[in-house]
A and B are shown apart, each in its own frame.
Chain A
Amino acid sequence: MANVISVENLSKKYGKLIAVDDIYFEVRKGEIFGLLGENGAGKTTTLEMIEGLRHPTKGKIEVLDCDIVKDRNTIKERIGVQLQSSAYYHFLTLKEILDLFASFYSKNLSSKELLKMVGLEEKSASLIGNLSGGQKQRFSIIASLVNDPEVVFLDEPTTGLDPIARRNLWDLISKIKNQGKTIILTTHYMEEAEILCDRVAIMETGKILVLDETHKLIEQSHFPYSISFIVKKISQQKLSELKKYSEVENVFGKENKYTLKIETQEKLNKALKTVQTINPESLTVGRATLEDLFIELTGKTIKD
């Protein structure tokens, strides 16, 4: 698959602060690529350098085979950008905003079609202020599609939305992918990255810790399997037996809830047998999540 974006040896310094520290990656045509990390990990800075909004201190960026420094305007014609928590004009209607932004490009889509795509056609004469959070976010995404771009940049598209609105947005993002566009997004929701992204890079303090296809990343986890169960009472003997096969965690201080983190399939089977002998009230066998991997890698949990 051809690369749509390639980033080499990219760094960004603000005085003494190193926001992005010598990173390399490629984004392939037609995929959803996720940049994951905490606030301040350097996701947005990286994205904005690729979009041509910030100047790299060092390194080389190519977007659609064009150099971001030399061919900035050619690139801008062919990409769509949704900024993190960006607002739009307060005194223009949705249709007027889309038409205005479309007029900036040589190639453009009809505002009617775009609004229809996200179910906002009835709101076309409304002002931004009259939309709900989810509607605003959907609008902000279609506003980045006015020029029918080949690459779409979405910076934390679902931050601050309720679960339903977030799921709506996931649908929209997959829809955009199915149109053949390449999407690069940032998020600090592990679940979102796991569901949406084909490939993920996890960033911390300006560095990329790991980068791979999402499912492979999860398999790379030191403990790819897990068992959770709830039991009223467990004997010390059974507990030490379980500890042979797994790492036992007493979850969130709940006395009777346990989680076992397990390294191999074989240990999983053995541990499962032991658990069954103690008659747990509830039992779940699962795979590790991206969040588990993230915690393993960074030694901390994601904060909002």
Chain B
Amino acid sequence: MWKLFISDLKMLARNRQALFWVLFFPLMFTAIFGLFFGKNINIGTIAVIDKSNNQISQGLVTTLEKTDVFKIQTESDLPAAKDEIQRSIISAVVYIPKNFGSTSPTAPKQVEIIYDPGGQVYSSLSGIVNQYLTSVNYQIQNSEPIFSSTLEPVSNRTLTYFDFVLAGVLGLALMNSSVIGLGVSMAKYREDKILKRITTTPVKSWKFVLAEVFSRLVINLIQIIIILGVGKYLFDAHIYGNIFILLPVVLVGAFLFQLLGFVVASFSKTADAAQGMATAITIPMMFLAGVFFPIDSLPKWLYTFVQYLPLSPLLRIIRNVMLEGTSPFLTPKNSVIIVAWIAIALLVSIYKFKLSDE
């Protein structure tokens, strides 16, 4: 069986197409999201036109610059700036009219925010602007707000959207390389009669399957380490959890997806059929199980369903461990769903996945 395991490893390393799915594909996601959201979140560019240029208007500009949420650029011409919004070069314009903030009764009292309704910046932008103006109002009226709120983060950890996605990409990589990779290669083995050829020898089927599983777990391990390494050292991802808890968790996930790969191979006669079926399983999960966005923001009817997809609980556990540093068993429900899926996939594989034709 050792020989089978080593041979399987060699084949995995030599198969360029499979390596693409295993390594390049997830790294591509890591790099794309890393470049967009890695170092600081920047959700758009805001043009500021300050025609007033006094203490109050300058204060507003400084406040905006300090938020770090937008990129701020100063301009002077309103029609030109509006044109830039239409051409999607910038997301919004903050226009401070002449004499704004002066004590003269005829002076303008309003800052204008012109925005692209398709963009996402206006709510946070108007919030920041209004908050600043409110505080100026209080100062001028010499009063204090009666009601206010305080902010207290659960932890002092900085977490970015990239950290969220990186955990998602881990799950995505495992899912693709196992469900697609293993499913298709087993179906190809069947098509090429390699499985049948194996059954003409005295080797036990379970040894053949186990060698396949172990060699792929090794590849999964390398895959995870590379993704985490690139995420952390190239794009400053925050990983708070213990890597030695994270790795076993992730490998349990890999095992589950390999079983799903065997299920795919059980029901497809050709490699093409397996490719189709595997894609039909992985693509919806890629979008509905929370790889790129939290699924609790989905409509409730959809959420009640998608939270049980195999990838969903795995991602919740990976995020708990990796981003919060909590125990993988924090929410028992997640573990229960995963164990249930493993049991189902294992049963189907045992009864349906056959090396021989009969």
Chain A interface (Cβ within 8 Å of chain B)?
51-55, 73, 76-77, 79, 81, 83, 85-92, 96, 99-101, 103-105, 147
Given the known interface contacts A83-B197, A104-B203, the answer about A89 and B358 at a Cβ–Cβ threshold of 8 Å is no
With both beta carbons as reference points, the residue of chain A lying nearest to B200 in the complex is identified as: A81
A86 touches B193 (CB 8 A): yes
Tell which of A51, A77, A91, A101 touches B10, judged by Cβ atoms closer than 8 Å: A91
Which residues from A are CB-within-8-Å of B152? none
B200–A89 touching, CB < 8 Å: no
Within the assembled complex, what's the spacing in Å between the Cα atoms of A76 and B205? 14
A92 contacts B10, C-beta separation under 8 Å: yes
Interface flag for B103 (CB, 8 Å):
no
> Could you say which of B197, B203, B356, B358 contacts A86, with CB atoms under 8 Å apart?
B197
| A55-B3 CB under 8 A given contacts A89-B194, A104-B203 | no
Q: Which of B4, B15, B193, B203 contacts A87 (CB 8 A)?
A: B193
Q: Is the CB of A76 within 8 A of B4?
A: no
Residues of B within 8 A of A77 (CB): 202
Question: Whole-angstrom distance between the alpha carbons of A82 and B200 in the complex?
Answer: 9
Interface 0/1 of B200-225, CB less than 8 Å to A:
11110000000000000000000000
Once the chains are docked, how many angstroms separate the CA of A259 from the CA of B50? 108
8 new A-B pairs (CB below 8 Å) besides A79-B200, A96-B7? A54-B357, A76-B200, A76-B202, A81-B200, A86-B193, A88-B197, A103-B3, A105-B201
- Given known pairs A73-B202, A99-B3, A100-B4, the reply for A83 and B196 (CB within 8 Å) is yes
B194 engages A87 (CB within 8 Å): yes
Residues of A within 8 A of B7 (CB): 89, 92, 96, 100
B201: chain A residues at CB < 8 Å are: 76, 101, 104-105, 147
Q: In the complex, what distance in Å separates the CA atom of A210 from the CA atom of B272?
A: 42
What's the nearest-Cβ distance from chain B to residue A133, in Å?
16
Collect the chain B residues with CB atoms within 8 Å of residue A51's CB: 200
**What are the residues of chain B within 8 A of A103 when measuring CB–CB?**
3-4
Q: Looking across the interface, which residue of chain A has its beta carbon closest to that of B193?
A: A86
Interface hub of A51, A86, A91, A101 (most chain B Cβ within 10 A)? A91
CB of B89 within 8 A of chain A? no
Asked if B192 CB lies within 8 Å of chain A CBs, one says yes
Asked whether B193 lies within 8 Å of A53 as measured between CB atoms, the reply is no
Q: In the complex, what distance in Å separates the CA atom of A272 from the CA atom of B358? A: 57
22 contacts between A and B (CB under 8 A): A53-B200, A54-B358, A76-B200, A83-B196, A83-B197, A83-B200, A86-B192, A86-B194, A86-B196, A88-B197, A90-B15, A91-B10, A91-B15, A92-B7, A92-B10, A96-B10, A99-B3, A103-B3, A104-B202, A105-B201, A105-B202, A147-B201
Q: Is B14 an interface residue (CB 8 A)?
A: yes
Is A100 a contact of B3 with CB atoms below 8 Å?
A: yes
Q: Closest CB of chain A to B58's CB: distance in Å?
A: 66
Q: Is the CB of A53 within 8 A of B356?
A: yes
